[in-house]
Amino acid sequence: MKKTIILSFLLLISTFIFAQTAKDMVTASDVEVTWLGVDFSHVKLIGEFNQWASGGEKSSYQIQDIYFPAWNDLVLNEPKKFDLEGMLRKNDLGYDTDMIRKKNEEAPLEEMEADSEPDYSKEEIASFIKEYDGDGEGIGVVFIAEALNKRRALATYHFVAFNRSNGEILIHEELKTEPSGFGLRNYWGGSIYRAIKEIRKEYYKKWRSEYTE
């Protein structure tokens, strides 16, 4: 009898941990949703990266050391502009960016500069998510940066919502947005702003229709 109760209790816990679904993202739900940040650990930098017209070229080391944290800080420090809660219709959105910041710091510089965009597949994106530590609970939300293309003035991000306990992807959307703004931080920060805006205005409605039927 005691063994049966223990097994039932473990089953209940397991069900709670792994029951997160895409529907939890687009409806009122008790499941915790956490913003993890913008993951630049697999990004490709294409073209010359200048502070501005006469600012001089920035190396991949400077981009990693200065601008990866600066772009993540923009999102956190300007919540009215980078409206993550509005994007996901979650007034109680959590924030935990330490893991992503560490990954950005450890990204291999020798693979960062490229001549073309990598065009990551769904399988590759899933493998990137599997690299995360898996210690959190509920649903994690991340932007995985694929390319910052100076030549085309275009950024590519992958929005991913996933089960933090097992890495299962619940929602995945690729977005291509234009940068804008003065200075390197604001210029590419503008592409993140547009990605958030597109999700809030367009993709969230599509997801709600798709995952609540």
Domain residue spans in the chain? 20-211
Q: What is the mean pLDDT of residues 114-137?
A: 94
Residue 29: per-residue pLDDT? 83
Confidence of residue 116 (pLDDT cuts 50, 70, 90): very high
pTM score: 0.89
DSSP letter at 181 equals S
| pLDDT beyond 50 at 152 | yes
Sign of the dihedral defined by the CA atoms of residues 7, 9, 11, 13, in that order: negative
Across the range 107-115, mean pLDDT stands at 92
What pLDDT score was predicted for residue 185? 93
Is the pLDDT reported for residue 4 higher than 90? no
Q: Would you call 162 exposed, middle or buried from its count of C-beta atoms within 10 A (0-12, 13-18, 19+)? A: buried
Residue 173 — very low, low, confident or very high, per pLDDT cuts 50/70/90?
very high
